[in-house]
Structure 1
Amino acid sequence: MLLGVALAFPASAAAHAVAPAGAVKDRSAPVGLWTGTVTFSGTEIEATMSFAADGTMCSSQPPGPEGGAEARGRWWRAGTATFSFRGTERFFDGSGATTGHLRFRHDATLVGVAWFTTTGVGTYFDADGNELGSTPATARMKRVSPAPQQC
């Protein structure tokens, strides 16, 4: 998402700029840190996603007094401007105890170098692993850094 930084420098300066640790030069890859919204079941939530060059992805919400969520998964290229990712998001209460989880899979399309949109599905499970149901989901994310966050 900070890809605009390279545009702020003259061509010669941008050519010699050092990329942040973990960043890749292939801007058609989703590697980096992204923020945006995920929409499901009529609800829209703010989200942060991180994609690393090694194919890992993660997402987290800082825990608060009522709990939070953290996700881990994998991403892979599906085409020149498309990729897919899947993983599991764990939900926890204020004490850190798992209250349930979500298995998700999304297909994404890069829109230039700064955005991607997705369509996907998530399946919810309670803390005991009982399936509760599935719901379609979409996301619209903006790159905020070419370097992924530490997962």
Structure 2
Amino acid sequence: MTRRTKKYGIRILGPAVALAAAAVLVAPAGAGAASTIGPPPPRNSTPVGTWEGTVEHADGTGNVTLSFHANGVMCLSSGGGPEGGGQGKGTWSRTGLNAFNYRVRERLFDGDGTTVGYVDVSQKARQNGQTFKSSGISKIYDANNNFLQSAEAKVKVTRVSATPAAC
């Protein structure tokens, strides 16, 4: 069931969202005991591929798809369907062992495809094998590029393909 929501002072439908900052996944292990969680993730994971999951922000939780390309390009898609959503293209870069940042400008649109606003997304991510979490502060603008507010968001995704989706 879908419902209309008012997000960041912009009337949109569905879970088109702003993304935001970093969280760390740590697999617990007993002192001196082997972990029963499974093999450790590769020591130098890469986000290249397509990821699906959720983004959590002040207005709730929505679906998000992220795609990271080896050349540093990344794409984002959120929401969708008859109620609208969001799409954007940006960049990503490695910042350390299993860590990376990404930035993207997400266009928010209603069910008719009309642009209702933008979100400048800036995230810090920590990858743990086939999952990653990220968080950061996003800046929200209306359709005329007037700044409305900043908002924190958290992303939690799982890799669904080692091949990045087209932007």
TM-score range (shorter-chain normalised) is 0.7 to 0.9
Q: What's the CA shift for 1:103?
A: 0.3
Shift of residue 76, structure 1, vs aligned partner? 0.2
CA drift of 1:65 comes to 2.7
Match of 2:159 among 128, 143, 148: 143
Structure 2 equivalent of residue 65 of structure 1: 82
Q: 1:123 aligns with which of 139, 143, 153?
A: 139
Q: Which runs of 5+ in 1 are unaligned?
A: 1-25
Q: Answer 1 or 2: which has greater helix percent.
A: 1
Structure-2 change in CA distance of 1:62 and 1:104 (3 Å): closer
What is the alpha-carbon root mean square deviation over aligned residues?
1.7
Equivalents in 1 of 2:134, 2:63: separation in Å? 14
Match of residue 124, structure 2, among 103, 107, 111: 107
Paired with 2:44 and 2:64, the residues of 1 have a C-alpha distance of 21
What are structure 2's unaligned runs of at least 5 residues?
A: 1-42
Give 1:42 deviation, angstroms: 5.1
Out of 80, 93, 109, the position equivalent to 1:76 is: 93
Percent of matched pairs sharing the same residue: 39
The Cα of 1:41 is off from its aligned counterpart by 0.8
Moved more, 122-131 or 92-101: 92-101
1:133: which partner in 2? 149
Number of equivalences: 125
Runs of 4+ in structure 1 deviating by more than 3 angstroms, as ranges, are none
Query: C-alpha distance in 2, partners of 1:27/1:145?
Result: 18
Q: Note the C-alpha offset of 1:119.
A: 1.4
SS at match of 1:65: helix
TM-score (norm 1): 0.77
TM superposition score normalised by structure 2? 0.70
Compared with structure 1, are the counterparts of its residues 87 and 143 closer, same or farther at alpha carbon in structure 2 (3 Å cutoff)?
Answer: same
Give the secondary-structure state (helix, strand or coil) at the position aligned to 2:166: coil
